[in-house]
Structure 1
Amino acid sequence: MVSERVGKYIEAKGISYYAFENSLGASRGSISKAVKDGKSIGSNMLEKIHATYPDLNPTWLLTGEGDMLLTDTVWQNSSINTYRLKTDTAVESQQIPLYDLEAVAGLVPLFGDNNAFKPVDHIMIPHLPKCDGAVYVTGDSMYPLLKSGDIVMYKAINDIANGIFWGEMYLLSIDMGGEEYITVKYVHKADDKQYIKLVSENKHHQDKEVQLAQVKALALVKASIRINAMT
């Protein structure tokens, strides 16, 4: 059954159902429930799975025949954007670890010691700026530049107070009353030096000022990936 094979693929990848559903823009529990109950998965969702996970063999998924994974996956059907500073130097080859934010319990522990966490996969794209890791994007605040399910690759900023390049795009972890709020925003100066202004690409989202002291983790977004289709 297709749903059973989806479950086997998720297990083989070592990712959580939450991360898998989130990468597809699916409602939480929708895939896990289909797998658990042996129910069918709609054709629209199967198309999203094919587009988002190009290493998954569609023949195996639909029929059970052949190998689970395609061995020669390339990024030819994806949009790759880079966001470089003038001081950036391209790296000819690097393995960028892709992390499941739910599994690592947020950016703060991940940035504290990323060697303590096992990535769900690695991304290899030549001639990118140096990156520390990659995570999936959620929400629509940076749409249409980024949409939910896209991947952003980042370089962590250790000195938050002095390491901000104003106007650039950042991945942030913000303490909101004891809860971690993770977002991708442009970071601008605020009138009060103790605050920063978070600006969205999506004009339906209003700018928001937060205290700099509330920012617990910060990373400069270096590149993004959007999987478009699979051949």
Structure 2
Amino acid sequence: MVSVRVGEYIEAKGISYYAFENKLGASRGSISKAVKDGKSIGSNVLEKIMLLYPDLNPAWLLTGAGSMLTNGASEPAVTTFKLKTDATVESQQIPLYDLEAYAGLVPLFGNSRALQPIDHISIPHLPKCDGAVYVTGDSMYPLLKSGDIVMYKIIEDIPNSIFWGEMYLLGIDMGGEEYITVKYIQQSDKEGYIKLVSQNPQHQDKDIAIDKIRALALIKASIRINAMK
């Protein structure tokens, strides 16, 4: 069924139905309803989909033959970092924020409900997430690289809610300015401190005072889009 494959493409690319329908100029809910109910999608809409999304293999879309994406593109790789206590959500719309548009994690986490995301990500069977942002820097390479997207769950009670050894998105007070990073958090030998550990061996571990953490979120999943040349 063509509509089912359209839904598979939307989920694989992490596009929200609202953004997909808006880009096509289709009425809100028309594509999502067709996918959900297994109904046909008009040929004029299919033509527009193939025009606007050139990485989508037309043969696969219409017949199911071959791979989803054309040569030169690959499906986004999704990595999930789940706690044993996490319950997955069958479907959720995770807001994707442009971190550079805000003055750090503190205002983002504090006002996320009032802020306008740049898009939404829909990936089934992930743990509950509060939002997503793009990663910069190479401290967690090769697990994460600059340009990857991380999805997170905000931690409210910072001193009492850290799971040692897990990966976090942090906003740290550095001389009055907020330094944003992604690190593993481990216990420190110094009282009142935590140890920030990188995946990249070229980055040194660092102890910081726990009261310097202004914002904290547990990383739940990441997305990497690989393009073949």
What corresponds to 1:61 in structure 2? none
Return the offset for 1:205. Answer: 0.3
Quickly say closer, same or farther: Cα 1:71–1:107, change in 2 above 3 A: farther
Return the offset for 1:113. Answer: 1.9
Return the offset for 1:220. Answer: 0.2
Amino acid at match of 2:118: V
1:197 to 192, 195, 198: 195
Counterpart contact for 1:132–1:156, Cα < 8 Å? yes
Return the offset for 1:106. Answer: 1.0
Q: Are 2:151 and 1:168 equivalent residues in the alignment?
A: no
* CA offsets 1:174-208 (integer angstroms, 9 cap, x no match): 00001110000000000123110000000000000
Query: Pairwise mapping of residues 39-188 of structure 1 onto structure 2 (< 5 A)?
Result: 69-70=52-53, 77-188=75-186
Return the offset for 1:110. Answer: 1.0
Counterpart contact for 1:77–1:230, Cα < 8 Å? no
Amino acid at match of 2:215: A
Return the offset for 1:72. Answer: 9.6
Return the offset for 1:142. Answer: 0.1
SS at match of 1:161: helix
Percent identity (aligned): 68
SS at match of 2:201: coil
* CA offsets 1:107-147 (integer angstroms, 9 cap, x no match): 10111120121100100000000000000000000000000
Return the offset for 1:71. Answer: 9.7
C-alpha distance in 1, partners of 2:191/2:153?
Answer: 24
C-alpha distance in 2, partners of 1:179/1:160?
Answer: 19
Return the offset for 1:230. Answer: 7.0
Counterpart contact for 1:104–1:117, Cα < 8 Å? no
C-alpha distance in 2, partners of 1:102/1:115?
Answer: 17
Counterpart contact for 1:153–1:224, Cα < 8 Å? yes
- Root-mean-square deviation over aligned CA pairs: 2.8
C-alpha distance in 2, partners of 1:212/1:69?
Answer: 48
C-alpha distance in 1, partners of 2:196/2:76?
Answer: 28
Amino acid at match of 1:70: Y
Counterpart contact for 1:155–1:219, Cα < 8 Å? yes
Which structure has the larger Rg over C-alpha atoms?
2
Amino acid at match of 2:123: I
Aligned length: 171
Quickly say closer, same or farther: Cα 1:71–1:110, change in 2 above 3 A: farther
SS at match of 1:113: helix
Return the offset for 1:86. Answer: 0.3
Amino acid at match of 1:108: V
SS at match of 1:115: helix
C-alpha distance in 1, partners of 2:182/2:220?
Answer: 12
C-alpha distance in 1, partners of 2:55/2:102?
Answer: 29
